[in-house]
Every structure is written in C-alpha cells, then in structure tokens.
Structure 1
Amino acid sequence: MQKFDNLGVEIAFTTLGNPVNPAILLIHGFGSTHANNWVEPGWADFLVEAGFFVVMFDNRGHGQSYKLYQADDYDVDKMAQDASRLMEYLDIGQFDVLGYSMGARISAFLALQIPTKVRRLILGGLGDNIITGTPEVEEIAAGLLAENLSDVSDKIGRMFRIFAEHTGADRKALAACIMSPRRVMTKAEVLQIKQPCLVAIGSVDDVAGDGNALANMMHDGEFLEIPKRDHMRATGDKVFKLGVAKFLA
C-alpha cells in the first residue's frame, strides 16, 4: 500500500482502475480494513468493471494506517479530513463516496465538509443512528479490551470482539476509536446534504438504526433494503452491489 501523511498521521491507501474514469472513494467500517470491507467481498473489482477509478484507504487506527490511543484522535471531523486530504493528495476534484457503518458516518460528515466535491453518497449499514447516536459503545469497548472472548457476554460486544480477532486488529486502538466523542448529526445537518444519497441496510441489521427514516429525512435520499442480511453479512451482498450500480448509473 502507498501512504501519505495527514498532520502527522500516516494513512495507508491504494487505488484500482483507470485514473481517467470517474472516481469513487470507499470508506470502511469500524474494526475493518479496506481489504476486509471492499476487496474480499468483491466491491473493488465490481466498481472497476462498472467504469470507476476506485480509491480505498485504511482509517486511522485500522489496518496499515497509524494507530492512536486517545479517544479525541478519532473525532469524526478528523477522520473525514483524512479522506478529503487523501483526495487532495491524489489531485481528484469530484468523486462519489461509498461508506459502510462507521465509514458511512464519516462519509456523511465528509459530504458536509466538502459539498462541491462529493457528487453522490452511498451510506451502507447506517440509518437514523447518525442522529440518535450509536448504542452500546461502552459494551463494544469493554468487549475489545477484555482479556478473553469468554469474558464478553454482551451480544454486540462479542460480535465486534470476534470481528477484531478475525481481522487481527489493534484492539486498544479500536477501543479508543469507539469511545471517541460521538458527535451526532442534527436533522438540520442531514438536510444540508444536497447530494443524491442511497441508504442501504440489511433487513435484520440491529446495529444501523432505521434506514428508511434517514432516507426520508434527506433532501434527495432513497432507501435500499438488503433482504435477510444483518450488519456483518450485508456488506458484500449481491442486492447491495446491484442497488449501488443502479444508483450510480
């Protein structure tokens, strides 16, 4: 992977496809990496075949990017700035954005930060929790920091602990990330997102919140339900991919 420095934080990134094609930035979810979220489920190849220049990176604290251990280092505006400055570094003017879960939250704030650069927005695995807040952050952090998985009884805490172990993540960095100041987006801010936006959530996702409610709240939003998929299994689903392809056509 290539790397660039954003105010002392080294961000690892990679690109795929022809740089003359329209660009799309992919922002992965909490505890994941660009490879887990976008390469392994087939998203990167799918979007290249659809005619896009794909830009992917590991969020700070994740994958091959720099690890930080203070909650304030994971403020959503700082994480969105990592994304915007990466696109500046690559000299990409306008681009679409696809984010999943935490990556969708970052994507929404990115659209507010640089509205003239973000063309279209896809929020996967995130509904109205962007307004109401993410539940069980303390349970997730406790699950990540527990000495053993057997010590974790909370359902959501266990889910993220298992995922972190699967990806080989730095669990202390992830705990700092999940305990960051959880600034929610106000309804007024949601209405400031003028770009066309697709909200896509699994029908049995118990983490994301209400996707239809968020889409209806937006200036130009639409909702895609991914049948029989929970928060983890919706990521690479065919219905999700085809819905995104239709939205971006």
Structure 2
Amino acid sequence: MPAQPATKLKPKEHGAYAILGIPMITSLVLAGTTLAGLCVAVASVAGFLAHEPLLVAIGHRGNRAQRSTPTARRRLGLLLAATLTCGVIAMTEGTTSVHWSLIGCGVLAAASFALAIAGNHRTLGRQLWGVIALSAPCMPILLAGDLSTSSTMEAWCDWLIGFAATTMTVRGVIAAQKRQSRMIHWIAVAGLSILVGYLTFRAFALPIATLPMLLMSWHLMHDPPHAKQLKRVGWTLVAGTIASAIWMTITL
C-alpha cells in the first residue's frame, strides 16, 4: 500500500497555526535575534508539527491512516529530537528567567501531548488549554531579548485574552450554524472585553492591543457567516490577530 503523502502529517487544526505563529513572530521582532530565542522558536514549531504524527501513530486518525502512514513514527521521533535539542540549547544560552519559562513551556507541552493521546480534541477545555500551551513560547523568546518579566507576562496574558475571545467566537459561529444556544459565547466575549477595558483603565499599556481581535469577534458573533462561508471566520480572525500583533509591537 502506498505511503500517505507527507502533507497529511501536518496538523489539521488550522487555527492553531495562528495561535502559535503570530505571537512567536511578534516576540522575535520585539526581542531581536538571539540564539536562545531562535532555538525556542524552532523547538516550538517542531513540537507543534509532531502533534499530527503522534495522533496518526497511536491510531486517533483511524486505522486506515495508521496503516497507510509508515513514516509517522519516524517523523514523530525526528521532530521530538529536534524539539529536545533546540530546547537544551535554549536552556544553555538563556538566563535564569528563560530557564524557568522554558520549564513551564515544557510542562505545558507534555500535558498537551498527554491530552492528545487521551483524545477529546474538540472540547472547549481542550481548545482553551491549546491556547495556553501554543502561545506560551512567546515568553522565553521575549525574556531572551531582555524584556522585563512584567512586560513579558503582560504580553502573554494579552494573547490569552485575545485568543480566548476568538476561540469562543469560532465555537459561537458553529453553534449558530447548528441552531444551538450561544449565550455562553456572548458572555465570554463580553466578559473578556470588559476585562480589557478594566486593565486599560488601570493603566496597563498592552491590553488595548487586543482590540482588533475583540472587534472581529463581536462582528462575527453579531453576523455569523453561512456554513458555506466558514473560511471567512478564520481569515477575519487572523486579520484581527495580525492587527493586534502590529499594535503590540508599536506599544512595546
């Protein structure tokens, strides 16, 4: 039987690309080029790409995918080796604050792999956990660029707020297509918007940068697209996320 094309071993959760990539690229721009930061980025991408081979190898993508993809286990091993190697280099090159943030990222990554093995990828709790784990690499990258711990934590928390809003929005749009209640999604987006307003009032500089993400979330919640136009949801939220990234870059 012919092997499954390598493209099938790429993660299928397309929103995860933005959650990992945009904060990471923004952090690299802000922190500048450091060996530790670059190694964190490579380790994060490798760990992310290892997710799909893991699911295929353990049979979560179906027996047919497992039988037709003999390269999955080898791909998984290579990606995990790259993750560990780059992680060790980052630990060697980084400061104490970078060390602790990398340990935190490692714990989050290990838990994410454990959850992947357990299944239930599409539950709300699993998706919100993915937001936390995928956005976390921005911290050691920023710290490697000598940004303060307070600014780094504020930046990460802002990404958590923004991506929590977009995650709830996507689920709200899907609920609208299924004619299900969207009350929890409205409450979540409203609560996160109020939180950003409160933090801005308390003189935090970065939370307002999430405004484009929140505005796109409100727009899609108010006017959810037809089922045939669901790609519009992803691209709209990506546009809002990029706008927030630019705003954050200017602010920091």
More strand by share: 1
TM-score by length of 1: 0.32
